[in-house]
Amino acid sequence: MRKFVFDCDTGTDDAIAILAAFGTPDIEILGITSVNGNVTENHVSANNLDLCEYLGFDVPVTRGASMPLFSGYHNSLDMTHGTTGLGSVVLPHAQTKQFDPRIASRFLFDMAVKCEGELELFVTGPMTNIALAVIQYPEFSDLIKHIYFMGGAVWGGNVTTTAEFNIWADPEAAHIVFDSGIPMTMVGLDVTLKAIMEKEDVVKLRACHTKAADFAADLLDFMFDRYSRGGEDVIMHDALAVASALCPECMKYTDYFVDVETTGTYTRGHTAADFRGRLGKEPNMACAMELDVPMFRKWLVERISACGKSENH
Ligand code: BDR
Ligand code: CA
């Protein structure tokens, strides 16, 4: 059975991505690690803990990095994910579930050792926790089988003209991870901007009458409302990273050498993909470049509909 840790900055679309992972049979989620990003780390961590208790996900939840490695970025002020990270959705506060005492990077390393080279990661926020694990534990990189991450873009950006949020929020961390030798799949804006849900998806989720599907439908309703007020569309950036591991056939991929611009005046956080092969470097990741949108939406609704019914979690 494939084993994963989910590193995230929950986050409306992170939460939906978590549901998709927990709704997938025949995989094991060993834990959720939290990182500063969409909102402050304390909000992210609380969201992950509350979500797990509310939906009965019996896995460790850790706290994690509360700021980027070097840059001054603290948090988005654009309210894409609301003040707490879950938009207008309010989960009951966890009553009995406690945080795992380990900090994220230590937990990641412990799971990597436990899985003896078979651990895979979903990464749907800034890469600070992963970079810290790479820095602190020299064996870590060799123990990770694959990272499926949402971040970057071969073409374009969503914070600046050339930088995507997760990479822009901690470019040095992303540079360290890209350079680590860990096999990776980049799911960037090239595909995620097309992963837009429709109202009919909400109807299908409401028909399930499960806590998980209702929670997802509430998050999607918040996103439809956000879009009607001029905000971001109902985009499933992070669930697409999960899909790249669990429904890989919904995308097409090209191998590139990709590095992160850390010093540019206007381009800090840009993921530079050597699509012309001019640098003469071996590709370090597969980049998702095309998406079958109906296949992805069907997969996502099915996985969330199954969430809470699986025997595996
Ligand atoms: C990424 O940034 C966040 O707003 C989303 O959760 C996603 O991980 C998209 O740029
Ligand atoms: Ca995210």
Token digits of residue 222:
């918040």
Mean pLDDT, rounded, for 21-38 = 96
Mean of all residue pLDDT scores within the chain: 95
> One of 237, 238, 270, 313 is an active-site residue; which one?
237
**For the domain that residue 141 is a member of, what is the CATH number?**
3.90.245.10
Report the share of the chain in percent with pLDDT over 90: 92
Ligand 1 cavity residues, CB under 6 Å: 11, 13-14, 38, 80, 124-125, 150, 158, 164-166, 237-238
Cβ(108)–Cβ(33) under 8 Å? yes
Which residues have CB under 8 Å from 107's CB, separation 6+? 5, 31, 33, 60, 62, 100
Residue 313, domain member (yes or no): no
The pLDDT confidence band at residue 302, using thresholds 50, 70 and 90, is very high
User: Which ligand 1 atom is the nearest neighbour of the CA of 232?
Assistant: 4
Token digits of residue 102:
């380990």
User: Which ligand 1 atom is the nearest neighbour of the CA of 76?
Assistant: 4
Provide the number of structural domains found in the chain.
1
Tell me: pLDDT of 261 over 70.
yes
User: How close is the Cα of 106 to the center of ligand 1, in Å?
Assistant: 24
Tell me: pLDDT of 313 over 50.
no
Residue 312, domain member (yes or no): no
User: How close is the Cα of 207 to the center of ligand 2, in Å?
Assistant: 27
Determine the pLDDT at residue 71. Answer: 75
Determine the pLDDT at residue 255. Answer: 98
Determine the pLDDT at residue 312. Answer: 40
d(CA 15, CA 17): 5
* SS3 call for 45: helix
Query: pLDDT tens digits, residue range 74-86?
Result: 655 567 888 889 9
DSSP-H helix ranges across the chain: 12-22, 41-55, 104-115, 128-136, 140-143, 165-168, 171-178, 189-192, 199-206, 211-228, 237-246, 293-306
User: How close is the Cα of 164 to the center of ligand 1, in Å?
Assistant: 8
Is the N-terminal amide bond of 11 cis, ω within 30° of 0? Answer: yes
* Ligand 1 pocket test target in 238, 240, 242, 244 with most atoms within 8 Å of CB: 238
Query: pLDDT tens digits, residue range 175-224?
Result: 999 999 999 999 999 999 999 999 999 999 999 999 999 999 999 999 99
Question: Could you say which DSSP state residue 93 is in?
Answer: P
Tell me: pLDDT of 310 over 90.
no
Determine the pLDDT at residue 76. Answer: 58
Query: pLDDT tens digits, residue range 86-99?
Result: 999 999 999 999 99
* Atom 10 of ligand 1, nearest CA residue: 165
Annotated catalytic, 237?
yes
Query: pLDDT tens digits, residue range 117-170?
Result: 999 999 999 999 999 999 999 999 999 999 999 999 999 999 999 999 999 999
User: Which ligand 1 atom is the nearest neighbour of the CA of 14?
Assistant: 6
Residue 7, domain member (yes or no): yes
d(CA 307, CA 305): 6
Judged by its nearest atom, the ligand closest to the C-alpha of residue 81 is 1
In this structure, the number of other CB atoms found within 10 A of the CB of residue 101 comes to 10
Least confident range of 64-73, 92-101, 165-174: 64-73
User: How close is the Cα of 280 to the center of ligand 1, in Å?
Assistant: 31
Residue 278, domain member (yes or no): yes
Domain ranges, residue 255 = 2-306
